[in-house]
Amino acid sequence: MEITRKGVPTTIEGVQPKVGDTAPAFALTNLNGQTVTVDTLKGKKTIVSVFPDINTRVCDLQTRRFFQIAKDLPNVNIVNISNNTIDQLGGWCATEGIEAEMLSDANLEFAKAYGLFMPEFNVLARSIFVFDETGTITYVEIVPDMATEPNYDAAIAALN
């Protein structure tokens, strides 16, 4: 798959899951050292917000927006995933005063399972996945230009 970065084409490695697929398995560590998997997310609807680098403007905006959304959706899991390290993610949360579920994909397990790795930049493609309570994917957005924000409204609408 090809997307752009500020209009310049770049390639995403792998095959992305589609609506109706069972969410591919992953096991990632959160800021508390706990392992989060598709199975631990089951039982609630889930928004998975994937971003390239927490220390960039659009990634910061995306994470803040989903943090705000989480306050209004108490029965929904919202997880944020990038290949930033735990220290980088934790440092951003501490600096910004935000307590969000941040998962590090430093080993690129999620990136490979979901076909989101961009080797040219060594980051994950900005994307959103929504899972139902059983772990079935009900919404997918691979943002066509990594320097733009995802469609928040469409992701929220997919929860219904």
**AA identity, residue 88:** Q
Question: What is the C-alpha to C-alpha distance for residues 60 and 37, in angstroms, rounded to an integer?
Answer: 24
59 flagged as catalytic:
yes
Q: Which residue among 3, 50, 54, 59 is the active-site one?
A: 59
Which letter does DSSP use for residue 22 in this model?
Answer: B
Sequence-ordered strand ranges (E) for the chain = 2-5, 8-11, 27-30, 35-37, 45-50, 76-82, 101-104, 117-118, 123-124, 127-131, 137-142
Please list the active-site residues. 59
